[in-house]
Structure 1
């Protein structure tokens, strides 16, 4: 039987009263409520690549053991997980712990699927914001990834470019022009007509001072003009129109490009590239680090009809998000931790992460600014706009004007 949305929200309201907070996570397992802690607890995550021998699954198992329960873990593809989570909520059989991509949190929260939490001490506010809506917090980030610029030291040396001089758009474009004059290629990125493309455009869009609520602002037009000028002047390849972040990286790995916009997840590949590389933050238009979008997942707790399960669920969440476990977890997932204390430990263990920590500190969630479920309705017109402008179909101003009209209509 399908549970109507208002029914889900009613259960959510009840569960909020019961709470899944820091106080709950300290429940005494010897208390009457603690008696419900035996049995099996279900955890769903978007990491099907990890099998039972992985550090990730071993951590889940340990958290269950510490809480006195057996953990049954299921890994799904990210898109499949969202659909299954919504269906499970309608059918009243949600998992006890649900780990989802951060933009999905607002979708599930709006549907009444998730409990709120106040177990947020120490978490960086800009990372937490992706899991907040209407002043309430619906999950805890287990870490984050974001974007920066990888560079090929040999290419820059040949062009007599010092990467330390790249501080803003003007200095970056000047560097690309020197690289082209030296016979090499400038910058590669992903401008594909999907969320992946929007993810890569946002640092430039936000770095101009533009806001997602006004796509066709002068600042937004400046950001898109930057991209279109790079293509027009041969500083970036036309292939960006079809590049995913993976194929964009493959271009950079040829050794012909000076820069690649990409993420922490490429660090292992960078070390295998066969040339000396470095990393700098994506610069904003006027200088400084541009806000890049955060990737990464949130640990959330779906609504349950049996509220006695919440005490144990809170213990599982506390274990997964604890500082003691975060370093191992985020290293396994190639994430920057969500707390400054663990970030410091990561940099101490791997100095290559220093730039990524700085980038994550400046980053913001795509659903932040209380956009929530409005974000996908803005992102699609945005990627349609840069696809149109980069292919020469429309000017940046006209493309973004059309995008703003579409987004405004869709988010009324």
Structure 2
């Protein structure tokens, strides 16, 4: 998702400050009171004020163009939505429609809470219009359990003047990245900034290195060690601050904006802020090792398995994917489309930076690892923290994490 502040940082803030709109807040739009009108319950976690105009416009658009439907919306803090869906299933009060973080497909998808959309999607015939990563993020155990809502990924931002002064080209490989970061490090300025915080935010930024090395979670003992060793080398040469273990992605962007980092790894949600910078910058694909890879972020639409109005809810989902509904919604939220056929529409069609991120969706991988992904993710975060703080070697940390990851992946 495209945010003016850090993606998970502001959602945590929303959780603290948006409770009034969350657990107790129900937003009902104006709809028809005719007896044949179907009221659909809709849950999401977009609690901040800046999201409301775009969401209200989308709901109004749906009610005007999908016959006999009324949307009753309720919002929750980001950290609460998955739990509330689970609790609602126990109480038999699941919503008809929800917008969930794509990582939530790991936990929600395995619990038979979500409606199987496989047959509807086949009849719909538009699955091929989506980028591979976002679409795969909706697949669980061979079933389609959602439709991509929007997508984002990671890339490398560069301060063009700093790179030019150092005689450095934007790096395309790990070797070039290490060399560039070393040359760009001077005084209190680091060559590279990234987030290695002990949360999913840090894992989101680490996984591309694992994939670029040619590995995955099931080969973490080998390829996790390779990725960890590379990052440890950057810290050893002081090209990357060891304080990155406590940085959110917003913290990283602040350092780039303050010229305390010549390059940063971050997402498209930082672009609105970066456009206010007093220096020129560019954004390029993440440097590769053996493979090209970036990590997929964003949300998915889902319908719940016990919804009383599945046909009407699916009709709403179909409508949200039409250009007349989807393009204004994505532009209002500052998001990127998960659909290839919208590549030449919206702000992303003319903005070079957004276009770069859109093109990288072809290499973006979902974090789709099953219901116990959270345990595997925690193991990855612990390994990175141990290495970058100097408490464990890359090989030792990777072996320890691999044992926990293997256990988590085996629990289905």
Q: What TM-score results when the alignment is normalised by the length of structure 1?
A: 0.85
Is 1:98–2:105 an aligned residue pair? no
Following the alignment from structure 2 to structure 1, what is the Cα–Cα distance between the partners of residues 286 and 142? 30
Following the alignment from structure 2 to structure 1, what is the Cα–Cα distance between the partners of residues 342 and 173? Answer: 30
CA contact (8 A) 1:155 1:184 kept: no
CA distance in 2, matches of 1:259, 1:327: 31
Partner of 1:29: none
Looking at structure 1, the residues matched to 374 and 403 of structure 2 have their Cα atoms a distance apart, in angstroms, of 15
Contact 1:152/1:278 (<8 A) preserved: yes
Aligned CA distance change for structure 1 residues 37 and 389 (closer, same or farther; 3 Å): farther
Do 1:106 and 1:131's aligned partners in 2 also have CA atoms closer than 8 Å? no
CA displacement at 1:407 relative to structure 2: 1.9
Pairwise CA distance, 1:291:
1.6
Count residues in correspondence: 368
The 5 Å alignment of 1:106-185 reads 106-118=106-118, 119=121, 120-121=126-127, 122-163=129-170, 166-180=171-185, 184-185=189-190
The equivalent of 2:408 in structure 1 is 410
Q: Does 1:358 align with 2:359?
A: yes
Shift of 1:304: 2.6
Q: Which secondary structure does the structure 1 equivalent of 2:206 belong to? A: helix
Asked if 1:332 corresponds to 2:336, the answer is: no
Cα distance per residue 1:170-214 (max 9 Å; x no partner): 111111122126984200111011111110101111111111112
SS in 1 for 2:293: coil
> 1:155–1:257: 8 Å Cα contact kept in structure 2?
no
RMSD: 1.9
Inter-partner Cα distance in structure 1 for 2:51 and 2:206:
37
Provide the residue aligned with 2:304 in structure 1.
302
SS state at 2:277 partner? coil
Partner Cα separation in structure 2 for residue 183 and residue 245 of structure 1:
19
CA distance in 2, matches of 1:100, 1:182: 43
User: Over alpha carbons, which structure has the higher Rg?
Assistant: 1
The within-5 A match list for 1:6-405 is: 38-50=37-49, 54-67=53-66, 68-118=68-118, 119=121, 120-121=126-127, 122-163=129-170, 166-180=171-185, 184-217=189-222, 219-286=223-290, 290-304=292-306, 306=308, 309-346=309-346, 347-367=348-368, 371-405=369-403
**Unaligned segments of structure 1, at least 5 residues:** 1-34
Contact 1:56 1:329 in 2 (8 A): yes
CA distance in 2 between counterparts of 1:183 and 1:403 reads 33
| Structure 1 stretch displaced more, 104-113 or 51-60 | 51-60
Moved over 6 A (4+): none
Quote the Cα distance in structure 1 between the aligned partners of 2:331 and 2:404: 40
1-structure distance, mates of 2:52, 2:116: 32
SS at match of 2:99: strand
Counterpart-to-counterpart distance in 1, 2:132 and 2:265: 25
CA contact (8 A) 1:168 1:284 kept: yes
Secondary structure in 1 aligned to 2:135?
Answer: helix
**Partners of 1:51 and 1:57 within 8 A in 2:** no
Kindly tell me: are residues 177 and 314 of structure 1, through their superposed partners in 2, closer, same or farther at Cα, counting changes over 3 Å?
same
Shift of 1:52: 8.4
**Matched residues in 2 for 1:262 and 1:131: separation?**
24
- Seen in structure 2, the aligned counterparts of structure 1 residues 54 and 209 have a Cα distance that, compared at 3 Å, is same
Name the CA shift for 1:292/1:350 in 2 (closer, same or farther; >3 Å): same
- Between the aligned partners of 2:406 and 2:49, the Cα distance in structure 1 is 41
Give the Cα–Cα distance (whole angstroms) in 1 for the partners of residues 219 and 366 of structure 2.
17
Gaps of 5+ in 2: 1-33
CA–CA separation in structure 2 for the residues paired with 1:247 and 1:267: 14
CA displacement at 1:125 relative to structure 2: 2.4
Alignment check: 8 A CA contact 2:133 2:296 kept: no
Deviation for aligned residue 1:335: 2.3
Which residue in the other structure is 2:19 paired with?
none
Q: Which moved more, 1:45-54 or 1:200-209?
A: 45-54
Structure 1 residue 319, shift from structure 2 partner: 1.6
Q: Structure 1 CA distance, aligned partners of 2:52 and 2:295?
A: 32
Q: Call closer, same or farther: CA 1:207–1:305 in 2, change over 3 Å.
A: closer
